[in-house]
Structure 1
Amino acid sequence: MVSFMRCHNSDCAMFSDSRDAPSKVGWIPSLPIRFGFPQKDLQLSMKPTSPIHTFQVCHVMEPNQNNWLRSGWIQRQAAQRVYVEMRFTLRDCNSIPWVSGTCKETFNLFYLQTNEPLPAATRFRPSDYSKVDTIAADESFTQTDLGDRVLRLNTEVREVGPVTQNGFYLAFQDVGACIALVSVKVFYKRCPSTLRNLASFPDTVPHMDSSSLVEVRGACVENAEERDTPKLYCGADGDWLVPLGHCICSIGHEEMDGFCGACNPGFFKAIAGNTKCSKCPLHSSSHDQAGTLCHCDKGFYRALKDPTTMACTRPPSAPRNLVSLINDTALFLRWMPPSDLGGRKDITYNVLCQRCDGSDGDGMTQCEACEPDLRFIPRALGLTGTSVAILDFASHTNYTFHVEAMNGVSGLVLSALNRMNCLFCGNIKCIPKSQLLFIIFDCFARLQEQEQLSYSSTRTKSTSVVVTGLRPSTVYVFHVRARTAAGYTAYSSNFEFETAADGMNVKEWELRSVVYSVSNGHTVSVLTFCLPVPFSGIKTYVDPDTYEDPTQAVEEFAKEIVPSYICIERVIGAGEFGEVCSGYLRIPGRMDISVAIKTLKGGYMDQHRRDFLREASIMGQFNNPNIIRLEGVVTNSRPVMIVVEYMENGALDSFLRTRDGQFTVLQLVGMLRGIAVGMTYLSDMGYVHRDLAARNILVDENLVCKVSDFGMSRVLEDDSEAAYTTTGGKIPIRWTAPEAIAYGKFSSASDIWSYGIVMWEVMSYGERPYWEMSNQDVILSIDEGYRLPAPMGCPVTLHQLMLHCWQKEWSQRPRFNEVLSFLDKLTINPSSLLTLVNDVQSYSHSPEELPDYPLFISIGDWLDSIKMSQYKNNFLAGGYTTLDSISTMSIE
């Protein structure tokens, strides 16, 4: 029997090897044809003590040689393509003396397929065999080699097949060579079993067609599950190709050297994936292997909405230092937070009241819940602050108040340790409700143009308000509200007035003695205001950070969207807080709107949620065609989402890089103008962006550019020249003004510097500012006066504007409304864009060397501005036709 051994590539699946003993391999001469391959032991110099069995023939002196050697029957089994490796040595005919012309230096390889071994008495018929190839030697030996006992072995491999029947025979024909057949190895190729991407793949035999790959589906290893169907393809040479799909470790298991091992005690893994097991959070533990959840230690708990990665917590201790203050109208309770918050931040307080009216016959005090009309301001349950005002007491009555601290796990345990009492007696003077007065802390006034959505608001502690900058013949509407110990009241009813048509009293109006009724109808008070309030028809930006509760800013400026109205189609990117998707907003009765949806990933802390929604409370205050539009938010369900309009062409920098040279200069100026419109709007609102860059400008299908990404933005103070000073965080060095880098001073002037960089990005089709310079080199170079040179094909006027945006002294930079006016003049007068920087040999790259004409297009504009219009003809006659030519004028 011929042995059947498997291997890979050079150690491929081997049927037989004639280096074994002849009786083991089964080689036989083919009779009755003359057999000229005598079996001999040949002593080779490479192994002097180990003889090798060979078949030799050397009948070169006799003509018409036809010698045959046939193998035993070799069973095919799984093979479809069979390879034969032959090692042999052959003598050079020229080295044999007196040899005739019949000497050959080749032999032939044949094969025969059969389903069963041939009977022993079957006569050998060469015509039944199919020829594979004629085998020639690369190297032959001579008589000298024989004397030195050095034989040169040749190795040749031939493919046999395709083999379709159960087995086959090999046959070797000699036609007159002097040859020794040292070994014959018969094998086939296969793709060996392997592990890839946590899936196992079995031994696989390639197809007969060498161009066809065998698709093999893998099976996930133990404790793993399919995420995408794992596949490999077996190639003709026995190599695995094109891995697809993968498995992931199940819950409670992690990847270890290609397998999924159980999490050790003290560790857990709650979701399937190829992440490592996590150590149990604080105050929790797992005692067994393959833990999917760490159980809380005794006395600690985890709320239903808490992620499994969160530490176990406990209810808070009792509030501290509860004090009461009573006057003729109300009781004020104040307390300090618990000394032990239980490891959580979601602390709320409940104020519970009992009314006690004496004792029963057994001497026990009779107490009952307070009457429903006892009023708590802002409320009795779920307080986030540490004070409450209580109104509408009955006289001569004892009240007992319990103030309890609660957090997310308080409902899981019954305990009185988080409660403290406040007991006081009656004799509260009863006053009619119509005479109750509030202590006013401060007031808010809001002014709105009739028929307009925008409004201006201000906050004051004084008794009147002065409104300036009003337009003639315009109707304005005032609303006011107060903040008292009881919290914020609702806005008052409208107070309307109209400015004069002749401009009188337009510059300044003073509003006094406004009668304000509290919206609940219980109190009446007279409020007046005074504070100069700039008003230009554009509402003033309100910083969400000024709100005591940031969620109030979201509620005031962003519209809540029903989650079922949102249809998510695909993921288009990843943001700081989670994925960014595209889809549609389908509100009943309205057309579908293409939107982008920012989601807040799970496992977030309260601070993450506030930071995420902060951008929505900022965007919700803007209404401009060149500012990204906020459609609304989803805050009452998970995931938390911010929904904005969808911009088909994405970020401006990548949009330009993929379309290098495809736009006219006028089109690029149009893009810059759109950005300037948006920034003018923000600047007029007293708003500083701080991260203006082409990557934060989005482009819609009509090439309209809109300012976005308000994560780094801050508000200016009322003084238009004031700046926000940072306290830390990353700064985009290449886009940031020197004073902002050095001193953390951000202003509209620093946004202008950034706008100049955006201009350079647009004109260079998205090149990286300052190329490969390090941030430190950029800072040093700017400080030494270096400025970015003009991009190829950039008009002189645009690069001049860039350089003026990059003035070192921030007060010398133009304002956004001036930049917008300048770009409008360029659009009206396209000929001003014809002169390119590349055509001006002596053009300066330093803003300190610029002539003082940053915002004029023509000689005439410049002369008009300096009251020298009468000299226009003189300049033209002297050959000074462009602003750039003025910089070359001498005193003469």
Structure 2
Amino acid sequence: MDSLPKKWVCRPGFFKASPHSPSCSKCPPHSYTLDEASTSCLCEEHYFRKESDPPTMACTRPPSAPRSAISNVNETSVFLEWIPPADTGGRKDVSYYIACKKCNSHSGLCEACGGHVRYLPQQTGLKNTSVMMVDLLAHTNYTFEIEAVNGVSDQNPGARQFVSVNVTTNQAAPSPVSSVKKGKITKNSISLSWQEPDRPNGIILEYEIKYFEKDQEMSYTIIKSKETTITADSLKPGSAYVFQIRARTAAGYGGFSRRFEFETSPVSVAASSDQSQIPIIVVSVTVGVILLAVVIGFLLSGSCCDGGCGWASSLRAVAYPSLTWRCGYSKAKQDPEEEKMHFHNGHIKLPGVRTYIDPHTYEDPNQAVHEFAKEIEVSCITIERVIGAGEFGEVCSGRLKLQGKHELPVAIKTLKVGYTEKQRRDFLGEASIMGQFDHPNIIHLEGVVTKNKSVMIVTEYMENGSLDTFLKKNDGQFTVIQLVGMLRGIASGMKYLSDMGYVHRDLAARNILINSNLVCKVSDFGLSRVLEDDPEAAYTTRGGKIPIRWTAPEAIAFRKFTSASDVWSYGIVMWEVMSYGERPYWEMTNQDVIKAVEEGYRLPSPMDCPAALYQLMLDCWQKDRNSRPKFDEIVSMLDKLIRNPSSLKTLVNASSRVSNLLVEHSPVGSSTYRSVGEWLEAIKMGRYTEIFMENGYSSMDAVAQVTIEDLRRLGVTLVGHQKKIMNSLQEVKVQLVNGMVPL
């Protein structure tokens, strides 16, 4: 190289990776060289190059932390979702690692979770921005650290960059029984005993013992016991039997234990026990023949007028469920259109009028499922990944391929293993409800899987998930017209339900799903009930949980639900949408919310909310349910606003936000703040206390004058933080007016 002329030597800042290269190359970004005739460039401080990276590639750095992590807890499962890091470090090979820590609430010390926790799909090398942890402990505090890593993260000596989420798991079903011991064994019986599960997760209410003759798994017997011992009798001599045991708490059944095999004592002649069954069989056959003759006799008589043979008509219905019997003439003479005028499982069906039929009125819930939901072969479904956890089991995304149709993306709700018959009925009950609806703003049911051990509900797939989570992740990203479009879709779906005589009872942003085109669809019909034809009628619940923050006062006080109470809930959904998923009533307790609303308190207008939309919210929150708008009126009003965007330009100003609270004094039980620091800590914004104090906002009176521009000047740049502070200030102003906060 020394013999080369000076003009052929690369000067500082340039390099030649190979002597055969025709010319020198400038050092790639974030690298340098101070020497002449360099064959490579060094990386700047805090930047690195992977061993396999070519010398022409820019030096890169580890990514920043993921953002906006959100958790969803379902018993002992936790679903995490987050936004990718703002800075990927200049690389495309970003993946995620989940660190799980179990924390002691008393000492505050944390330890690694251990190997019993399962991560779906995996703990390390995650490419997608969500993960589910299952098999966690019940009633336990956990901290999850989500770290983004790339090809040079292992070269970084600095601190890890991660976002953490703290959660507390709920009560879970008990863990499996691990040890079973055999007791006394005879030719016809086997006695067993076992230990309580290692993790009962509550008080054991009972045990369920399933057993069957070896290799005869399809024919099994169930025994229930409140003790940890049982005796299975009436067994065959000299035969092997397989036993499995599971425990039940208030949270439901745990999983079955592994299989335990025991054998009865042999005897020389076992025929006697079989012979003893012959008299029973003979009697059963005789009774069956007599009963069949009675049924046929009543069917042939055809005389069932004036209610004179109620039990006979019931027998007909059992024997021939496909026939509809009425007085005076046979089904063969009936006009097919006329049939639609008559009772359908206890509900009048009129031609051309769609009416919701409550599946709870069916004596056999399976009949309702098969009537309103299409059965799908499990082989037509491909499950791809877990996307959430429902009340009854996991929720997955996948594909549905029916014969002669295009493959569809679908969401699949699964019923967890070890379900009870009641859980199966409740689970499929939602499908019986959904299957009756056909509207672009109601989640569409594709079908159910019931003829398989794995029970499933298959619906259309909504790419953006639940509306509240979607809004939180995209805070401030939409125009007012886009938000109003979302609200219009929800109102249209609710108008359809209302027209069918159906009350949702749990309308909230968390129960609205949104697709990639920002179309909102009403879902989750677990709390819903039917309304009778009387417009004043209401369904009265018998206990059960009520979503207080979304529920109308009359529904909370008297357990009465109407379409008008759904309208109240819709007003809360409007507030959630316009505040990008803010929690209604913030940190107030449910009891505080009930008292405050009863005394006239109403949520203040979200920041930058059009006055017309906030007025509609207030109309939905009228105490007199008859004064609230109907859903068809709400749809018409939103249509007018969309057609005239200029009507959305008038915003609710700060002074009217306070006056519109509709209160004469601050709500009873709401928090009062003695200092600026206490107020900021209460709304989880304590990180800004020092900044406020340093800039002269040392009293609540001074804080009440803060504007958005002031917050930006103070360095509060996150839109979500700005909204949280400004919304909380409305409550502070009301308390100042009423002398409840020290100046």
TM-score, normalized by length of structure 1? 0.43
2:245 to 308, 311, 316: 308
Tell me the SS of whatever aligns to 2:409.
strand
1:762-820 C-alpha deviation (Å, 9 max, x unpaired) = 00000000111111111111111111111111100000000000000111101101101
The alpha carbon displacement at 1:308 in A equals: 2.1
The alpha carbon displacement at 1:197 in A equals: 4.2
1:266-303 C-alpha deviation (Å, 9 max, x unpaired) = 3277xxx98899989659799xxxxxxx8841438899
Structure-2 change in CA distance of 1:610 and 1:824 (3 Å): same
Contact residue 541 and residue 685 of structure 1 kept, 8 A = yes
Aligned position for 1:709: 524
Matched, 1:636 2:568: no
Matched, 1:487 2:392: no
Structure-2 change in CA distance of 1:741 and 1:640 (3 Å): same
Structure-2 change in CA distance of 1:486 and 1:749 (3 Å): same
Matched, 1:517 2:331: yes
CA distance in 1, matches of 2:282, 2:485: 58
Contact residue 365 and residue 425 of structure 2 kept, 8 A = yes
Matched, 1:376 2:292: yes
Matched, 1:299 2:237: no
Identity, in percent, stands at 55
2:631 to 816, 839, 845: 816
1:391 to 296, 299, 315: 296
CA distance in 2, matches of 1:519, 1:589: 37
Matched, 1:601 2:601: no
Contact residue 786 and residue 845 of structure 1 kept, 8 A = no
Aligned position for 2:194: 266
Structure-2 change in CA distance of 1:483 and 1:765 (3 Å): farther
Aligned position for 2:510: 695
Q: How many residues align?
A: 431
* Residue type at the aligned position of 1:751: D
CA distance in 2, matches of 1:634, 1:693: 28
Contact residue 267 and residue 278 of structure 1 kept, 8 A = no
Tell me the SS of whatever aligns to 2:484.
helix
The alpha carbon displacement at 1:438 in A equals: 3.8
Matched, 1:354 2:291: no
Aligned position for 1:786: 601
The alpha carbon displacement at 1:436 in A equals: 3.5
* Residue type at the aligned position of 1:748: S
* Residue type at the aligned position of 1:266: W
2:579 to 754, 758, 764: 764
Q: CA RMSD in A?
A: 4.8
Structure-2 change in CA distance of 1:745 and 1:435 (3 Å): closer
CA distance in 2, matches of 1:350, 1:844: 84
Tell me the SS of whatever aligns to 2:653.
helix
The alpha carbon displacement at 1:560 in A equals: 0.9
Tell me the SS of whatever aligns to 1:649.
coil
CA distance in 1, matches of 2:424, 2:295: 32
1:682 to 466, 486, 497: 497
Matched, 1:560 2:375: yes
The alpha carbon displacement at 1:635 in A equals: 1.0
Structure possessing the higher radius of gyration over alpha carbons: 1
Tell me the SS of whatever aligns to 1:390.
helix
- Tell which has more relative contact order, 1 or 2 (C-alpha 8 A, sep 6+): 2
Matched, 1:437 2:303: yes
Contact residue 208 and residue 247 of structure 2 kept, 8 A = no
Alignment of 1:791-806 (within 5 A): 791-806=606-621
Structure-2 change in CA distance of 1:674 and 1:435 (3 Å): same
Structure-2 change in CA distance of 1:441 and 1:543 (3 Å): farther
CA distance in 1, matches of 2:416, 2:481: 42
The alpha carbon displacement at 1:252 in A equals: 3.8
Tell me the SS of whatever aligns to 1:309.
strand
1:279-331 C-alpha deviation (Å, 9 max, x unpaired) = 89659799xxxxxxx884143889999962169xxxxxxxxxxxxxxxxxxxx
Tell me the SS of whatever aligns to 2:474.
coil
Matched, 1:742 2:557: yes
Tell me the SS of whatever aligns to 2:295.
strand
1:474-504 C-alpha deviation (Å, 9 max, x unpaired) = xxxxxxxx964422666779xxxxxxxxxxx
Answer 1 or 2: which has greater helix percent.
Answer: 2
Contact residue 492 and residue 519 of structure 1 kept, 8 A = no
The alpha carbon displacement at 1:515 in A equals: 4.8
Structure-2 change in CA distance of 1:534 and 1:837 (3 Å): farther
Contact residue 210 and residue 244 of structure 2 kept, 8 A = no
CA distance in 2, matches of 1:727, 1:783: 22
Structure-2 change in CA distance of 1:666 and 1:295 (3 Å): same
CA distance in 2, matches of 1:282, 1:643: 32
CA distance in 2, matches of 1:527, 1:767: 47
The alpha carbon displacement at 1:513 in A equals: 9.5
Aligned position for 1:409: none
Contact residue 571 and residue 579 of structure 1 kept, 8 A = yes
Contact residue 442 and residue 483 of structure 1 kept, 8 A = no
Tell me the SS of whatever aligns to 1:539.
coil
Contact residue 734 and residue 769 of structure 1 kept, 8 A = yes
Alignment of 1:150-549 (within 5 A): 197=114, 252=178, 266-267=194-195, 296-299=230-233, 308-309=245-246, 352-354=284-286, 370=289, 376=292, 390-392=295-297, 436-438=302-304, 484-487=314-317, 515-517=329-331, 537-549=352-364
The alpha carbon displacement at 1:253 in A equals: 6.9
Contact residue 566 and residue 583 of structure 1 kept, 8 A = yes
CA distance in 2, matches of 1:618, 1:840: 46
CA distance in 2, matches of 1:250, 1:434: 55
The alpha carbon displacement at 1:538 in A equals: 4.0
CA distance in 1, matches of 2:499, 2:360: 20
The alpha carbon displacement at 1:555 in A equals: 1.3
Aligned position for 1:651: 466
Aligned position for 2:436: 621
CA distance in 2, matches of 1:710, 1:527: 27
TM-score, normalized by length of structure 2? 0.51
Which segments of 5 or more consecutive residues in structure 2 lack a partner in the other structure? 1-111, 117-153, 163-174, 181-191, 212-227, 249-280, 665-743
CA distance in 2, matches of 1:832, 1:442: 66
1:146-188 C-alpha deviation (Å, 9 max, x unpaired) = xxxxxxxxxxxxxxxxxxxxxxxxxxxxxxxxxxxxxxxxxxx
